[in-house]
Chain A
């Protein structure tokens, strides 16, 4: 099983600032099979990024993903009020599909 470790656990930032979220895998993940999700309280996760760097339909371009091998990054260029949420990384290249423990982006 591929274990995904996200850092930091919590990011305290102000609207307009940039955010960098990291995810490290316990073994190499093909970039084709790496995703990021956003989840707000009481809601289902929403797909943001797939294939490590491709934005899902309707996702604004302030969200970008990068990385390969065991290290992946989600960058939010300028935080909007609606971006404060929990973000999960996920690998979907091998079973069991696994998720990171999440990074909470909160308002400072």
Chain B
């Protein structure tokens, strides 16, 4: 079965960077794009961008352009999301979500990684 297992919670200071990992299993990793979505405490979901596991093409929401970088290690079936210049408003749970392969539909999600930004 498809599983996405994310790295553990992080606490960072303002201005720092954070890198979250997402290890996939149960499917052929290079066949599906991976998306990243975040959720601030008590808030809705906010899409950040995607990376294609086959050709590593990326697309980011304009809101995060310049601050977010998504990468992949296909040999380890792991995707990464790095967010830089952290501020308190970046405190959120960050999710990886697999693209079903059908028009950006997010069909499986990781368990989430809480990133807390605090001085």
Contact = CB atoms under 8 A, between A and B. Distances in A.
Interface of A: 32-33, 35, 37, 43-47, 50, 56, 88, 90, 92-93, 95-102
Q: Which 6 pairs between the two chains have the least Cβ-Cβ distance?
A: A44-B109, A97-B47, A99-B45, A92-B104, A96-B61, A101-B44
A100 B45 CA distance: 8
A45 B105 contact: no
B53 to A, nearest CB: 18
Given A44-B95, A95-B59, A95-B61, A100 B44 contact: yes
Q: How large is the interface on B (under 10, 10 to 19, 20 to 34, 35 or more residues)?
A: 20 to 34
B91 to A, nearest CB: 16
A46 B106 contact: no
Contact of B105 (A35, A43, A98): A35
Contact of A32 (B100, B103, B109, B110): B103
Contact of B44 (A32, A46, A88): A88
Given A50-B105, A92-B103, A95-B104, 19 more contacts: A33-B103, A35-B105, A43-B111, A44-B109, A44-B110, A50-B107, A56-B107, A90-B45, A92-B104, A92-B105, A95-B61, A96-B63, A97-B106, A98-B47, A99-B45, A99-B46, A100-B44, A101-B44, A102-B44
A90 B61 CA distance: 15
Interface of B: 35, 44-47, 59, 61-63, 95, 100, 103-112
Nearest to A96: B61
Contacts of A90: 45, 106
A44 B104 contact: no
A95 B44 CA distance: 17
B104 A96 contact: no
Nearest to B100: A50
A96 B62 CA distance: 8
